[in-house]
Amino acid sequence: MANKMLYPRQTLTRSVIDLSGMWKFAFDYESKGNELNYQNGIPSKIEVPVPASFADFFTEKEFKEYTGDFWYETSFYADKSWKSKDIDLRFFGAAHVATVYVNGKEVAYHHGGFLPFTININDVIKYDEKNIIVVKLNNELSHTTLPCGESLVMKNGKKVTKPYFDFFNYSGLIRPVKLVITPKSSILDVNLVHELNGKNSKTNYEVFTNTNDDVYVNVFDEDEKLVASSKGKKGVIEIENTKLWKPLNAYLYKFEFLIEKNNEIVDQYFLNVGIRTVSIKGNRILINNEPVYLKGFGKHEDSPVSGRGYNLPFAKRDFELLKWIGANSFRTSHYPYSEEIYDIADKEGFMLIDELPAVGMLVSTRNAVDAATAAKIKPFFDEEIVQTVTLKNHLNTLEECVIRDKNHACVIAWSLLNEPDTVGSKKAVPYFEALFNRCNELDPEKRPRSFAAIIASQPDRCLCTHLCDFIMLNRYYGWYTEGGYEIEDGLVRLDEELDKWDKVGKPVMFTEYGCDTMQGVTRLPSVMWSENYQVEYFDGYHKIFDKHESVMGEQPWNFADFQTTEGIIRCDGNKKGVFTRDREPKMAAFVLKRRWENLPINYKGKKD
C-alpha cells in the first residue's frame, strides 16, 4: 500500500521511535539548497523544535513571514535487529510540500501539510554509522495547493504569501516524525462497518495484509474480557448486548488483529473501536438511529509560539473547555487535525466533522469580506489548472484523510471544502461530483458529506448543495453585514433564508456564525467588538435557529481566538473566539454553557 496510514502503535511485534526534539534548520531564500548539496546535510547553526511551526520562534519579521524553501535535519542510529524488519519513516504532518532525503538519497515527495505519509527506508539505511534525515519544505501557496492562495515577490526580492484564507500560513514539521519498525509480513489497513440489530451488533471487517498467512481478529471489552473473535481476512464479528458508542457517552472495544504462522504471532495491531452507526433521515442526522443536535464549534490547531504545531497540552485543555461549556461536537476547520485529537474525541464521545484543507477556493485575499458579501470575483473553478492539478491534489488529500480517519467512531461526517465559490462557475459541479463520489467510494461507512457554504450559496443560487447529504452554513448577518444597530435586519434575512432551507428537507447546521470580540470590552448599550455584543449576537441567532425545523446543529465561529495574516480587520489575529487564545472564557462562554446544558442531545427529536 503506497502510503501506510495505520497509526503507529507499539505492540508485541512493532516498535516506534519518536524523532521529536531539536532539529537543524535553514532558510533557503534562493532555493539553492539542492545545488549546495543540503540533501547531505545542511550547513546551519540554527536549531528548532519538532513538532512545531517555526514562524513564532524568531524575533525577525522576515523569519516570521518567511515564504519559500526551508530545510530540516536530524539523525539516528539503526539497530542491527531491524535487518529482518520493515523500517518506515512516518511524517505525521509536514507543511506544505515536502521532499525527504535519507543519507543524501531522495526517498519521498509529498503534497499537503495536514496528513501523514510513510516511507520505507530499508534500501538506504546504514547499520554501522549515523543515518542523516534531511527534509526540504516549501510553504508557498497557489491555486493548486491545499489550502489555496498566491505568493508574490516584494520589491526587496523577498517572497510573501497571500492566503485566500483567514488563518496564519504556519508551516514546518508541525507534527511528529517517527521510525516505525514492523515485521516484513504485516497488517496494512483495516475496514470496519457496524450494523445494529436490537441489543446486539455485527461488525463487517476486512483486514488488508501483505501476506497470505492466517489472520485472526479478537475483540475485548473495556474490562479486557474477550467478547468475540473471528478467523480470516474478511468476516463478521457478532457481539451480544453491545455497549454502543454514544455522543458524550463513549464505549470503546479493543479490536486485536493478528497474523499467525505455525501458531507463531507474526504481526499484532490494535484499534480502539466505538460501535455506532451514522445515518440521515429526512432533516435529521441519526447516531445509532437516534437524532442528534450538534452543539460545538469550528476550531483551529492554533496556540501561542507552537503556532499550528501538535500541542497535546492545549488539546487537553480544549477538551476540558468543550466539556465544561456543554458541547458535543466540533469541525476540524480548516484541515484534518493531529490524529491524537481523534483518539481523545473517541474516548470523550465527541462528534467530529472531519474537514479537508480545501479552503481558499474563492479567489480573494480578503476572504472574509468577499465571502460575507457575495462579492463578484474571478470564478475559481473556471481555471483549467484547477480542473486538473488542484482536483488531483484534492482527490489525493481526500483519499489520505478518509483512509487515516475512517476507523474513528468520533468521525460522523466529512467536510470536503470550506467556503468554495459555488456560484461563479458551472465548472464547479463536475469538480464537486468527482469529490463527493470518490468520498463514498473510499469510506466503507458511507458517512454524510458536505461543504461549508458561504452566503452566496443560497438554496436557489448554489450550484453544488444538491450533492450534499446535509447542509453546512457559514453566516455573518450582524457582523460583516447589518452589524451593530442594524442586527435586527440581519436576523430577518437569516430567518427568511432558513424558510427556504426548511423546504429543501435536508439537515441544516451552522458551521460558522460569530463576531470579533475583544476580551475586557463591555459597553452599555453594546457596540460591535464588545463582549456583550457577542452575547446579543448569539442570542439573536439561537432564537431564529429554535424556530426552524431543519436546523439540527450550531457551531459558533470560533472556539478560541487564533492567529491570522496581519491586516486592517485583524487586531493580532481573529477575535471571534468564545475563549481567548490562551483558553480563558469571554462573557459569551457562560451564556452558551447555560443554553447547551439545557439543550438535550436529541433536541427537536425525530421528524417522521
Could you identify the residue written with the cell 438535550? 600
Residues in 385-414 at the binding interface with ligand CKX, rule: CB under 6 A? none
CB of 569 to ligand CKX, least distance (A): 8
Say which residue the cell 432564537 belongs to.
Answer: 543
Give me the half-sphere count of Cα atoms (radius 13 Å) on the Cβ side of residue 3: 18
For ligand CKX, the closer of residues 315 and 372 by Cβ is 372
Q: Are the beta carbons of 356 and 439 closer than 8 angstroms?
A: no
User: Residue 330: which of 312, 318, 316, 314 has the closest Cα?
Assistant: 318
Is 422 one of the binding residues for ligand CKX (CB under 6 A)? Answer: no
372 vs 578, which CB is nearer to ligand CKX? 372
The residue among 453 and 521 lying less far from ligand CKX, judged by its C-beta, is 453
Least Å distance between CB 298 and ligand CKX? 7
* Closer by beta carbon to ligand CKX, 167 or else 470: 167
Nearest-approach distance from CB 576 to ligand CKX, in angstroms: 5
| Position of minimal CB gap to ligand CKX | 368
Q: Are 335 and 356 in contact (CB under 8 A)?
A: yes
Cα 463 from Cα 471, distance rounded (Å): 13
Q: Which of 108, 292, 322, 371 binds ligand CKX (CB under 6 A)?
A: 371
Stretch that binds ligand CKX, among 93-101, 220-228, 368-376, 402-410 (CB under 6 A): 368-376
Q: Which stretch binds ligand CKX (CB under 6 A): 164-172, 174-182, 262-270, 346-354?
A: 164-172
> Which CB atom, from 259 or from 452, has the smaller least distance to ligand CKX?
452
User: At CA 474, angle to CA 469 and CA 479, rounded to 5?
Assistant: 165
Cβ proximity to ligand CKX, 215 vs 455, nearer residue: 455
List Cα–Cα distances, 293 to 163, 270, 284, 285, in angstroms.
Answer: 33, 32, 8, 8
CB of 354: closest distance to ligand CKX in angstroms?
16
* Sites for ligand CKX among residues 566-595 (CB under 6 A): 574, 576
- For ligand CKX, the closer of residues 103 and 565 by Cβ is 565
Q: For 388-530, where are the alpha helices, taking DSSP H only?
A: 391-405, 428-442, 487-504
Report, in Å, the least distance between residue 455 CB and ligand CKX.
Answer: 7
Could you tell me if 380 and 361 are in contact, meaning their C-beta atoms sit under 8 angstroms apart?
yes
CB of 579 to ligand CKX, least distance (A): 15
Look at residue 380 and give its three-state secondary structure.
helix
Amino acid (one-letter) located at 179? L
Site for ligand CKX in 500-539 (CB under 6 A): 512
Helices then strands, each counted (H, E), the chain: 10, 32
Alpha carbon 249 to chain centroid distance? 23
Residues 6+ apart with CB under 8 A from 409: 245, 250, 252, 273, 274, 275, 276, 346
Q: In this structure, are residues 523 and 530 in contact, taking their beta carbons and an 8 Å threshold?
A: yes
- The reply on whether position 114 binds ligand CKX by CB under 6 A is no
Residues 328-367 that bind ligand CKX (CB under 6 A): 334
> Of 68 and 420, which has the nearer Cβ to ligand CKX?
420
Binding mask 465-484 for ligand CKX (x = CB under 6 A): ---------x-x---x----
Show the site string, 304-333: x = touches ligand CKX by CB under 6 A, - = not.
Answer: ------------------------------
Pick 318 or 346: Cβ nearer ligand CKX = 318
Rounded distance between C-alpha atoms, residue 345 and residue 384, angstroms: 39
Contacts of 395 (CB under 8 A, 6+ apart): 434, 435, 438
Judged by CB under 6 A, how many residues of this single chain contact ligand CKX?
15
β-strands 226-231, 234-239 pairing? unpaired
**Rounded least distance, CB 318 to ligand CKX, Å:** 17
Interactions with ligand CKX, residue window 167-196 (CB under 6 A): 167
Note the helical H segments in 419-530. Answer: 428-442, 487-504
Stretch that binds ligand CKX, among 163-171, 230-238, 281-289, 484-492 (CB under 6 A): 163-171
Q: Which of 86, 301, 419, 445 binds ligand CKX (CB under 6 A)?
A: 419
Note whether 166 binds ligand CKX by CB under 6 A: yes
Active site residues: 419, 512
DSSP string, 93-155: -EESEEEEEETTEEEEEEE-SSS-EEEE-TTT--SSS-EEEEEEEE----SSSSS-EEEEE-T
Q: Give the CA distances from residue 502 to residues 334, 415, 548, in Å, rounded to whole numbers and listed in that order.
A: 27, 21, 7
In the complex, minimum distance from the CB of residue 512 to ligand CKX, in angstroms, rounded to a whole number? 5
- CA torsion sign for 438, 441, 443, 447 is positive
Q: How far is the CB of 451 from ligand CKX (least distance, A)?
A: 12
Decide: is 368 part of the binding site for ligand CKX (CB under 6 A): yes
Backbone angles phi, psi at 89, to 5 degrees: -105, 120
Which listed range, 105-113, 162-170, 284-292, 585-593, lies at the site for ligand CKX (CB under 6 A)?
Answer: 162-170
Residue 332 and residue 337: Cα distance in Å, rounded? 6
Nearer to ligand CKX, 11 or 563 (CB): 563
Binding mask 213-232 for ligand CKX (x = CB under 6 A): --------------------
- Among 78, 121, 372, 402, indicate the residue that binds ligand CKX (CB under 6 A): 372
State the minimum distance, in angstroms, from the CB of residue 419 to ligand CKX.
6
Q: From start to end of 221-350, where are the E strands?
A: 226-231, 234-239, 253-261, 264-273, 278-281, 284-287, 290-291, 294-298, 329-331
Residues that bind ligand CKX (CB under 6 A): 165-167, 334, 368, 371-372, 419, 474, 476, 480, 512, 557, 574, 576
